[in-house]
Amino acid sequence: MTTDQEISMSVTETGATVWLTGLPSAGKTTIAYELAGRLRADGHRVEVLDGDEIREFLSAGLGFSREDRHTNVQRIGFVAELLAANGVKVLVPVIAPYADSRDAVRKRHQQEGTAYLEVHVATPVEVCSERDVKGLYAKQAAGEISGLTGVDDPYEAPESPDLRIESHQQTVQESAAALRALLTERGLA
């Protein structure tokens, strides 16, 4: 049974999309899940739209051409805005390598009056290749794959993100705390 307090909280909760962009293995997903845990512990409704899961379930069949990457980002942006407009904090750890794709998502949020924050997880490619969480850098170096963002495919870093996190210079907990502080400062947490 739902109490009046729970109904009131869910109705008045302010949603927002927080897009974490950066190179593969930059730490986007790790930071997103750390922040999600903190927000949930404080009673917020939170969803993480993991790029790998989206590729499997929502964008299956898309490749990695510029057009397909743009389509993928727009699909994710649509879902994120829909959730955020309904009071969910949506954390999106997705590379989104092209500035125009990210700008289109931001504009959609602005048109709908939904809060949107862009966070650049600015980890140098050398650090990302050492982390190589999915083995992508090793596969690219071995010639097994091509089109790796930031290596042999472009990555357009945000010029003016709402927050820049240098995950190679701080812990995951410190990165999540900085992002949480931004949400609080903007009245979103």
Binding-site residues, in ranges, read 22-29
Find tokens 């743009």 and name the residue: 70
Cα(47)–Cα(32) distance, rounded to whole angstroms?
10
What are the binding residues for ATP?
A: 22-29
